[in-house]
Each structure stands twice: as C-alpha cells, then as structure tokens.
Amino acid sequence: MKETIYDYKVKDIDDNDVSLSSFKGKVLLICNVASTCGFTPQYKGLQRLYDKYNQQGLEVLGFPCNQFGKQEKGENADIKEFCESQFSVSFPMFAKVDVNGTNAEPLFKYLSTNKKGFMGTEAIKWNFSKFLVDREGNIVGRFGSLDDPNSLENDIKGLL
C-alpha cells in the first residue's frame, strides 16, 4: 500500500503524539518556522489565513526548526510562549524538528521527496518553507521562504 501523509505521527509542541490522520479531509499548510528569522513576521500571515479559513477546513501546521542560521534556539515551551505572545498563534504548533539530513523528521522527508523544490531539489532551503496539501492528502504545492503566506490565499481557496 502506498504511503500517505496520514501515515505519519508527530509530536506537538506540548510533547503529545499526534497522528496526521486526525487531519483527514482538511487542507493543510505545513511550514517549518523559526523565532529569530527575517521571515518570522510571516507568522502574521499564517495566522491570518488560519483565522480566515479554519472554519472552512484549513489547518496550518507549524514545525519549529533550528537548522537554518540557528534561528530557533529555544525549547518547545519557549517557542510556544513566543508564538502566542508575539503573534497570537492559535494554529497547531509542533515540537522542534530537523527538516533536512539524517535526523530529519520523517514527515519532512516525505514532503520534500514527494514535492520537489526549485530545479528538482529535495532539500528544504530555509525557514518558512511551506507545503500545501489538499483534502485527499496530496501534496499540491511547495513554496519557499520568499513566498508570503498571503500570496497562497487563492491556492488555498481553490482547495477549500
């Protein structure tokens, strides 16, 4: 049987196990995030999309990562507090992960292998890379750090 995004389990920011199968039937925007990055203000756009479209079936999933410029140094509790106090983040946040290399979170290996980046690359290039997944679990888009979350609104609306 073919592996799907729903076969993965991850840890949330409070260290609870979460099966991605709990998001079946939802549109997912999965993003690796960081607290001290030039792109950190994208939390505002991610939260805006979540606020606007969550009731229609959008879930934004944030995965802190310290692999790029060591811009996510804190522990999960610190990251959670920062996101809530600085950006009023209410979308699901997950435990800090690696997104590239031998210790990469299996979910991100799956995402980057199944939706190649610029010029066919698999490796995630920087913080705030985004993967868009449709209601059937298909990875339909991959967007880089320079793609502001607001620029994805039409793609998201089309999937809802």
What domains lie within the chain, and their CATH numbers?
Answer: 7-159 (3.40.30.10)
At 107, the amino acid letter reads: L
d(CA 22, CA 45) in angstroms, rounded, equals 24
Q: Is the per-residue pLDDT at 36 higher than 70? A: yes
Q: Is the per-residue pLDDT at 1 higher than 60? A: no
Instruction: Give residue-wise pLDDT tens across range 46-92.
Output: 999 999 999 999 999 999 999 988 888 889 999 999 999 999 999 99
Share of the chain above pLDDT 70, in %: 96
- Beta strands 27-33; 9-11: pairing state: unpaired
- 65 catalytic? Reply is no
Active-site choice (31, 37, 65, 83): 37
The reported pLDDT for the residue numbered 94 is: 96
Q: Which two tokens stand for residue 153?
A: 């609104």
Query: CA dihedral in degrees (138, 125, 127, 143; nearest 10)?
Result: -40
The reported pLDDT for the residue numbered 119 is: 63
